[in-house]
C-alpha cells in the first residue's frame, strides 16, 4: 500500500468527510482545523470566525487504488469552489475552499485540478492552494459525524445531494 494524505477544505467538514470516507482506497478521513493563528483551537473558537483556521478534512488513502488526481476531481464536484468563504448557508473564512499541500507534487496536482475544474464552472474558482502550516484534529464528537448523526436535519439536507453528485459524475464503482 502506498499510503498518502491530502488535506482539503470545502466548507463544513461534516459534509466533506461524509463523501470522502465512502471512497474505495480511502482508509481514514479526519475532520480538523488548519492554517490559523490560534494555538489548539476548539470548535467554538473556529465558529467565531476569528482564528484564521479553515474547517478541513485529512484524507488518508492508498494511491494504488485511488489517486490524488481523482480525489481532487471529486473535491471540485462535491462542493462549490466559486463561492468565497461560503458553502450553502455556512458563511465565514472557516468555510473557505482550500487545498493544503505538504510537497511540490501535491501543489502541482492541485493547480492542474483547479485549472481543469474551471471548465465546469462559469464563475471563477476561488479555491486557494496553500502550504500546510498547522493542522489540529477536531474534537472527537466531530469525527465520523454523518455516520453517527445521519438523521440530523443539517446532514439530511446537505450530504445526500453531495453523494448524488459523486455517484452521477464518478459512478457507483467509486464507493
pLDDT in tens, the chain (175 residues): 689 999 999 998 988 999 999 899 999 999 999 999 999 999 999 999 899 999 999 999 999 999 999 999 999 999 999 999 998 888 999 999 999 999 999 999 999 999 999 999 999 999 999 999 999 999 999 998 878 877 888 778 888 888 888 887 777 666 6
Check: CB of residue 62 under 8 Å from CB of residue 30: no
Phi, psi of 98 (to 5 degrees): -150, 150
Where in the sequence numbering do the catalytic residues fall? 12
pLDDT on residue 173: 62
pLDDT on residue 152: 81
Going by DSSP bridges, is the β-strand pair 90-91/86-87 parallel, antiparallel, or unpaired?
antiparallel
Domain definitions of the chain by residue range: 3-174
Q: What is the topology classification, in CATH, of domain 3-174?
A: 3.30.1060
Separation of alpha carbons 137 and 120, rounded Å: 32
Beta bridge partners of 9: 98
Radius of gyration from C-alpha coordinates of the chain = 15
Residue 103 burial by Cβ neighbours in a 10 Å radius (0-12, 13-18, 19+): exposed
The 10s digit of each residue's pLDDT in 7-29 is 999 998 988 999 999 899 999 99
**The three three-digit cell numbers of residue 148, written as one number:** 453517527
User: Does the pTM exceed 0.75?
Assistant: yes
The three-class DSSP label of residue 20 is helix
Separation of alpha carbons 167 and 174, rounded Å: 8
Amino acid at each position: 500500500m502506498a499510503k498518502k494524505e491530502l488535506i482539503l477544505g470545502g466548507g463544513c467538514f461534516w459534509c466533506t468527510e461524509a463523501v470522502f470516507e465512502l471512497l474505495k482506497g480511502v482508509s481514514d478521513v479526519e475532520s480538523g482545523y488548519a492554517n490559523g493563528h490560534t494555538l489548539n483551537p476548539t470548535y467554538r473558537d473556529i465558529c467565531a470566525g476569528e482564528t484564521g483556521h479553515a474547517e478541513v478534512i485529512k484524507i488518508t488513502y492508498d494511491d494504488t487504488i485511488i489517486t490524488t488526481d481523482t480525489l481532487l476531481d471529486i473535491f471540485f464536484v462535491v462542493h462549490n469552489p466559486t463561492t468565497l468563504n461560503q458553502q450553502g448557508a455556512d458563511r465565514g473564512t472557516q468555510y473557505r475552499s482550500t487545498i493544503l499541500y505538504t510537497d511540490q507534487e501535491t501543489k502541482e496536482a492541485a493547480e492542474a485540478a483547479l485549472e481543469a475544474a474551471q471548465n465546469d464552472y462559469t464563475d471563477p474558482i476561488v479555491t486557494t492552494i496553500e502550504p500546510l502550516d498547522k493542522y489540529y484534529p477536531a474534537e472527537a464528537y466531530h469525527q465520523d459525524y454523518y455516520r453517527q448523526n445521519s438523521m440530523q436535519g443539517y446532514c439530511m439536507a446537505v450530504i445526500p445531494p453531495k453523494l448524488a453528485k459523486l455517484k452521477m459524475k464518478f459512478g457507483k464503482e467509486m464507493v
